[in-house]
């Protein structure tokens, strides 16, 4: 199979779909890999490393989109890239389609087979290709929040750790999954007072077992959240409904009772955000203020640490890329129900229930597409 890796063109996105060691694995399996020149530079990987691994290098993305059977990306294809996709081509990457009607329509029109990292499942019920980036984003969230709490950055001028005689900041984390757990780890390590809120008793028990009395856990209700936002210096949105739009946990009215200059880091923004006042931002212009509250809603947070993120992502994606390349996309999905869960769009048809429901569009069962 001919596999293409274009350079990411989303704002300040420096990750890359394949690293040289992944290229070597694919080449040893008899596949051709074509990489856009400079694709790995942002992650500290030069073209020589790709050439030594057996990849063909090309200037610009056109040859990749014209000739590759499988395109491996990181972030969702941008509007220009979507015009280059073609029928029978397979695209493997993050899409987050539920809150993005235009991208959904464009990918349907392209006829390409779109397999989303974020909906591939595992034997344990997890999301193995989303997990590494959730870990990165979760660990970044308190770090980012600490910066935007500084007065010159627009925050209320609070040090996350406090100092002797002055209380530490109050960090409220909505969601006790992967993002929430890793956010709690870093916030606690930075000396903050940490509260994790979730509707799952099991998730709260796991947090309690991991952190003990160092982190408070609270069952999520509207009344509980309405009280917690009043005391939060930093609110981290870590809510996930796989493949679907994030629920709006924080209403616009709640901003009015928050401390002026407090910060919201909405990690759920890829799926639309868990605050009514959240809207996507980018690394070059990451924040805005609503009702005196600083909002950080960057849709590609892990892109800020591209080297760490790229290697972590490749560790997870390589087995699936090999399966698609070795067997072809159709047989790879037929033989693996977990990879099959990643198919969101194929030949103009939506195969993901949450995506179809989000946009009110017909859904074709993936089994029908694959002839199962």
How are beta strands 293-296 and 287-290 bridged, if at all? Answer: antiparallel
Mark whether 96 is an active-site residue.
Answer: yes
How are beta strands 113-116 and 343-346 bridged, if at all? Answer: antiparallel
End-to-end CA distance of the chain: 24
Q: Packing angle between helix 201-211 and helix 178-189, nearest 10 degrees?
A: 30
Mark whether 270 is an active-site residue.
Answer: yes
What sections of 3-100 are H helices per DSSP? 20-28, 47-53, 62-67, 79-82
Question: Using CA atoms, how far apart are residues 267 and 273, in angstroms rounded to an integer?
Answer: 7
For the record, the structure tokens of 119 come out as 């909906």
Cβ–Cβ < 8 Å for 226, 251: no
Phi and psi (nearest 5°) for 52? -65, -25
Cβ–Cβ < 8 Å for 139, 265: no
Name the active-site residue from 106, 198, 270, 336. Answer: 270
Question: Using CA atoms, how far apart are residues 372 and 369, in angstroms rounded to an integer?
Answer: 8
Dihedral angle computed from the Cα positions of residues 104, 108, 109 and 112, in that order, rounded to the nearest 10 degrees: 120
63, 149, 161, 208, 284 from 263: Cα distances, Å:
44, 6, 15, 25, 18
Cβ–Cβ < 8 Å for 297, 6: no
For the record, the structure tokens of 173 come out as 């984390």
Cβ–Cβ < 8 Å for 344, 350: yes
Cβ–Cβ < 8 Å for 59, 355: no
**Which residue, among 50, 189, 136, 186, has the nearest Cα to 308 in the 3D structure?**
136
Instruction: Give me the active site residues, please.
Output: 96, 270
């Amino acid at each position: 199979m001919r596999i293409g890796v274009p350079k990411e063109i989303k704002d300040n996105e420096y990750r890359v779909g394949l690293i040289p060691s992944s290229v070597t694995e694919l080449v040893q399996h008899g596949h051709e890999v074509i990489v856009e020149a400079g694709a790995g530079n942002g992650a500290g990987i030069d073209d020589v490393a790709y050439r030594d691994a057996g990849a063909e290098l090309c200037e610009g993305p056109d040859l990749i989109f014209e000739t590759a059977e499988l395109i491996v990306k990181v972030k969702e294809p941008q509007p220009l890239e979507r015009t280059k996709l073609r029928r029978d081509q397979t695209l493997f990457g993050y899409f987050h389609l539920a809150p993005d009607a235009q991208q959904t329509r464009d990918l349907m029109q392209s006829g390409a087979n779109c397999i989303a990292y974020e909906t591939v499942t595992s034997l344990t019920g997890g999301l193995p290709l989303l997990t590494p980036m959730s870990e990165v984003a979760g660990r970044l969230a308190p770090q980012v929040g600490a910066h935007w709490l500084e007065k010159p950055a627009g925050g209320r001028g609070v040090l996350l750790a406090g100092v002797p005689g002055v209380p530490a900041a109050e960090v409220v984390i909505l969601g006790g999954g992967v993002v929430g757990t890793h956010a709690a780890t870093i916030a606690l390590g930075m000396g903050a007072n940490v509260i994790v809120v979730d509707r799952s008793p099991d998730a709260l028990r796991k947090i309690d077992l991991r952190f003990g009395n160092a982190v408070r856990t609270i069952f999520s209700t509207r009344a509980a959240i309405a009280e917690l936002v009043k005391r939060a210096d930093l609110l981290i949105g870590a809510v996930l409904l796989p493949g679907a739009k994030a629920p709006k946990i924080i209403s616009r009215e709640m901003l009015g009772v928050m401390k002026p200059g407090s910060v919201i880091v909405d990690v759920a923004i890829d799926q639309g955000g868990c605050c009514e006042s959240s809207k996507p931002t980018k690394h070059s212009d990451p924040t805005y203020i609503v009702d005196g509250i600083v909002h950080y809603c960057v849709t590609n947070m892990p892109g800020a640490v591209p080297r760490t993120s790229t290697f972590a992502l490749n560790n997870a994606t390589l087995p699936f890329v090999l399966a698609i390349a070795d067997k072809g996309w159709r047989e790879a999905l037929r033989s693996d129900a977990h990879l099959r869960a990643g198919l969101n769009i194929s030949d103009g048809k939506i195969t993901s229930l949450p995506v179809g429901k989000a946009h009110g569009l017909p859904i074709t069962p993936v089994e029908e597409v694959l002839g199962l």
